[in-house]
A and B are shown apart, each in its own frame.
Chain A
Amino acid sequence: MGSNWDWQVFLQDPGGEYPTYFQWMMSAWGWTVSVALLALVIALIAGSIIGTIRTLPASRALVAFGNGWVELFRNIPLLVQIFLWYHVVPAIFPVMKGVPSFILVVLALGFFTSARIAEQVRAGIQALPRGQRYAGMALGFTTVQYYRYVLLPMAFRIIIPPLTSETMNIFKNSSVAFAVSVAELTMFAMQAQEETSRGIEVYLAVTGLYVVSAFAINRIMAFIEKRARVPGFIVAGGVGGGH
Chain B
Amino acid sequence: MMNLDLSFYSWDIISKFVLKGFYFSILLTVVSTLGGVLFGTVLALMRLSGKKFLDVPATIYVNGMRSIPLVMVILWFFLLVPAAFYNALPWGLGQNYRSEISAAITFIAFEAAYFSEIMRAGIQSIPRGQVFAGQALGMSYGQNMKLVVLPQAFRNMLPVLLTQTIILFQDTSLVYAIGAYDMLKGFETAGKNYGRPIEAYLLAAVVYFVMCYALSWLVKRLHKKIAIIR
Q: Give A contacts to B, CB under 8 Å.
A: 71-72, 74-81, 83-84, 87-88, 91-94, 168, 171-176, 178-179, 186, 189-190, 193, 199-200, 203, 206-207, 210-211, 214-215, 241-243
Contact = CB atoms under 8 A, between A and B. Distances in A.
Contacts of A174: 69
B213 A71 contact: yes
Given A77-B208, A189-B72, A200 B79 contact: yes
B173 A173 contact: no
Contact of B201 (A88, A171, A203, A242): A88
B189 interface: no
B223 to A, nearest CB: 14
B198 interface: yes
- Which of A79, A190, A207, A210 has the most C-beta atoms of chain B within 10 angstroms of its own C-beta? A79
Given A172-B70, A199-B79, A207-B72, A81 B205 contact: yes
B198 A88 contact: yes
B67 interface: yes
B164 A241 contact: yes
Nearest to B168: A243
A242 B212 CA distance: 14
A87 B208 CA distance: 17
Nearest to A215: B67
Contacts of A178: 71, 177
21 contacts: A75-B212, A76-B212, A77-B170, A77-B171, A80-B173, A80-B204, A81-B205, A84-B205, A87-B197, A91-B198, A171-B69, A174-B69, A178-B177, A186-B72, A189-B75, A203-B72, A203-B76, A210-B68, A215-B67, A241-B164, A241-B167
B94 to A, nearest CB: 19
A19 B124 CA distance: 54
Contacts of B213: 71, 75
A186 B75 CA distance: 9
B67 A211 contact: yes
A76 B2 contact: no
A141 B201 CA distance: 48
A29 to B, nearest CB: 13
A109 to B, nearest CB: 12
B108 to A, nearest CB: 15
Interface string B154-165: 000000100110
Q: Which of B71, B80, B212 has the most CB of A within 10 A?
A: B71
A178 B213 CA distance: 27
Nearest to B184: A80
B6 to A, nearest CB: 13
A42 to B, nearest CB: 19
A176 B72 CA distance: 10
B8 interface: no
A237 B79 CA distance: 38
B66 A243 contact: yes
Interface string B68-101: 1111100110011000000000000000000000
Contacts of A179: 176-177
A26 to B, nearest CB: 18
Given A79-B176, A176-B174, A241-B167, A207 B209 contact: no
A22 B2 CA distance: 44
Contacts of B171: 77, 243
Interface string B56-71: 0000000000111111
B1 to A, nearest CB: 6
Contacts of B75: 186, 189-190, 193, 203
